[in-house]
Structure 1
Amino acid sequence: MKVFVTGGSGFVGRCMIQMLRDRQEEVIALARSEQAAKQVTQLGAKAVRGDLLDEQAMTLGMQGCDIVFHIAGFLSIWGKYQAFYETNVIGTECTLAAAQAANVSCFVQIGAAASVFDHQSLSEIDESYPLQQPKFSPYIATKSLAEQRVIAANRPGFRTAVVRPSWIWGNGDHVLPQLVTAVKTGQFIWIDQGNYSYMTTHVMNVCYGAILAAERSPGGQAYFLSDGDVVQFRRWITTLLQIAGVKPGSLSIPRWVAWNIAGFMEAIWRITRRTGIPPITRTMVRLIGQELTFTDRKAQEELGYTPIVTRDSGLAELADLYHSH
């Protein structure tokens, strides 16, 4: 089978290429820079130079492909709406158009559980919970719109599906180093003591779920993916930081305080036109500052999904990597 991957040089994309190559699939990967082309080639994929807005390059690269895994996107806790919209929405539209022009039969997007986030905590939700486009978060809003585009494109001969992981983690993740830096520079602070339930998705579970969606989804469907368990947020972060050899402090603020501080910071950044990212934003508070639990029963029943990496085995792998370094 021949597969086209966007975002192949990123955290999830590298894992996807490796998993596909282990299955003896031929992989073509979009690469927008020489460095990205080199990275995907080293993983065993053929690089096609271009970006998400280069529909012609993608159409040529997708010739003869059976599946497109659309992984590329703009993830940040801060930025201008137009930048998010261009990459996450227009980029997805271009990738869909290229796939249809190249007669690809299946299109799977790596979406985000965040696509259903509004202001409130979410407890044991399923895929019937509506997509959201909150004004406070261009990331959440545009990931939601991108998912809508993918699901709407489903038709006979062109199956589409979206998988929705939460907090993607594992070997090569950039979040843990950022957490360590925050602790060491005194910028780490808990929200509501971190005492709320949360769910995560190991990068290998994300890729495995996406492959199952390509193989088994009837089309036009979205699927939450998890590590199969619920974890207390404070315990999760403390465990990650212990692996890296640091301890988080105990300083905490209520969520409503964090939310108001974040809004104030964002206003200052806009008024003064500062570059860089504010120390706290409402997107950050929303993504990691309150309960998120959902069921991935739909993925289990329709796709036969069960996590291939448990939390314990994934953490053990991370610990081995840190100790070896």
Structure 2
Amino acid sequence: MRIFVTGASGFIGSAVIPELIGAGHQVVGLARSDASAGVLAAAGAEVHRGSLDDLDRLRAGAEASDGVIHLAFIHDFSQYENAARVDLRAIETFGAALRSSDRPLVIASGLVGSVAGQLSTEQDVPDLARNPRIASAQAALALASQGVRSSVVRLAPTVHGEGDHGFIATLIGIAREQGVSGYIGDGNNRWPAVHRLDAARLFRLALEGALAGSVLHGVADEGVPVRTIAEVIGRHLDLPVVSIPAEQAGEHFGWLGRFLDADLAASSALTRELLSWQPIHPGLIEDLDQGHYFRDPS
């Protein structure tokens, strides 16, 4: 199939491209910059110039494809609601291009908005009031009744692996700056995770075989206690591991403080059953212990 991929040059997308090509698919990647275009071309993908807010270019890419994998998102948490609106418009555009074709649309979503303190499953309905990005997932699933084979992959908040610049890399950077490896409260809240290569395979399997309206969980570690993560970071950086009071979390952790105390344990049992997906790459703690997260940033 000819697959249009947004976010194709990103951390997850750069793993999805070889996964798709290795399975015999042709990849067309959205590129906003010359640098992204170069990365895509080097990976063997065709380049489609455009951006998430250029709806005409998104429509053209989707119309010329046999399916779409939508990974791109504006990760500016100071303007999160605006980023969610841009994402929703993009999905609506893909839906209009793919309507009544039975072509697949697979989108990346997240677990924030799930009920805290319990093991979230694919059957749970997240709270839109807690995460405006959920509107995008709802819009994608609604397309299943309009002749689009749409599915939603709720990714663990930590997609890890070499080259990660997300939550874990940020937490390590904060520990370096603060001189302590911190967690909030007792640190028993759980943080799901998945290796980027396992996530990439899940996106391919969803593209190839997920039923219309499927909700899938990209989760390998159901929930690693945040204190355990802090302890591993402290050990590798030779820093004390300390509890940060909740009222000081914003000052200590910055934007990450609004997420780090969430208890987001999640299961992927139904996903594994539906698509025969089995994570095979290192879990979060094993990946941290490989040491690549702690190389001298200078």
Question: TM-score, normalised on structure 1?
Answer: 0.79
Residue identity opposite 1:88 in structure 2: D
Q: Deviations over 1:258-315 (max 9, x none)?
A: 4xx64xx7xxxxxxxxxxxx9534xx34532132212211102211121131317961
Matched, 1:306 2:278: yes
Pair 251,321 (structure 1): closer, same or farther in 2 beyond 3 Å: closer
What is the rounded CA distance, in whole Å, between the counterparts of 1:299 and 1:220 in structure 2?
13
Letter in 2 for 1:130: V
Q: What root-mean-square deviation, in Å, do the aligned CA atoms of Structure 1 and Structure 2 show?
A: 2.9
What secondary structure is seen at the aligned counterpart in 2 of 1:79?
helix
Runs of 4+ deviating beyond 3 Å: 98-101, 320-325
Residue by residue over 1:108-139, the C-alpha shift from the partner in whole angstroms, topping out at 9 and shown as x without a partner, is 0011111426xxx332121332221336xxxx
- Quote the Cα distance in structure 2 between the aligned partners of 1:323 and 1:130: 39
**Partner SS, residue 170 of structure 2:** helix
Percentage of matched positions with identical amino acids? 22
2: CA distance between counterparts of 1:241 and 1:106? 44
Structure 2 unaligned residues grouped into runs of 5+: none
Find 2:163's aligned residue among 164, 172, 175.
172
Closer/same/farther in 2, CA of residues 177 and 126 from structure 1, 3 Å limit: closer
Superimposed CA distance per residue, residues 4-48 of structure 1 (whole angstroms, 9 cap, x where no aligned partner): 100111111111112112223210011112221111111111110
* Residues 115-130 of structure 1 aligned to structure 2 (within 5 Å): 115-116=113-114, 121-130=116-125
The 1:241–1:27 alpha-carbon spacing in structure 2 relative to 1, beyond 3 Å, is: farther
Superposition deviation, residue 322 in structure 1: 6.0
**Deviation by residue 1:183-232 (Cα, 9 ceiling, x = unmatched):** 22217532014233332111112121122222222211211221155422
Deviates more, 1:86-95 or 1:16-25: 86-95
Corresponding letter in the other structure for 2:193: T
| Alpha-carbon contact 1:67-1:104 (below 8 Å) kept | no
Aligned mate of 1:158, from 148, 156, 159:
148
- SS of the equivalent of 1:292 reads coil
Shift of 1:156: 6.1
Asked if the contact 1:171/1:318 (under 8 Å) is kept, the reply is no
Does residue 253 (structure 1) correspond to residue 237 (structure 2)? The answer is: no
Cα distance change of structure 1 residues 33 and 252 upon mapping to structure 2, 3 Å threshold: same
Contact 1:3-1:68 within 8 A present in 2 as well: yes
Q: Which amino acid aligns with 2:178?
A: G
Equivalent-residue separation in structure 1 for 2:61 and 2:253 (angstroms): 40
Matched with 1:289 is 261
CA distance in 1, matches of 2:57, 2:267: 38
Query: Could you say which residue in structure 2 is the equivalent of 1:181?
Result: 173
User: For residues 85 and 294 of structure 1, do their structure 2 counterparts lie closer, same or farther at Cα, with a shift above 3 Å needed?
Assistant: closer
Is the CA contact (8 Å cut-off) linking 1:66 and 1:104 kept in structure 2?
A: no
* Number of residues of Structure 1 aligned to a counterpart in Structure 2: 294
In structure 2, the partner of 1:211 is: 204
Aligned partner of 1:79 in structure 2 is 79
Amino acid at match of 1:98: A
Indicate whether 1:280 and 2:250 are aligned: no
In structure 1, stretches of 5+ residues that fail to align are 266-277
What SS does the corresponding residue of 1:116 show, helix, strand or coil? coil
CA offset at residue 148 of structure 1? 0.6
Mapped contact 1:30–1:49 kept (Cα < 8 A) = yes
Q: Which moved more, 1:287-296 or 1:227-236?
A: 227-236
Which residue identity does 1:205 align to in structure 2?
A: D
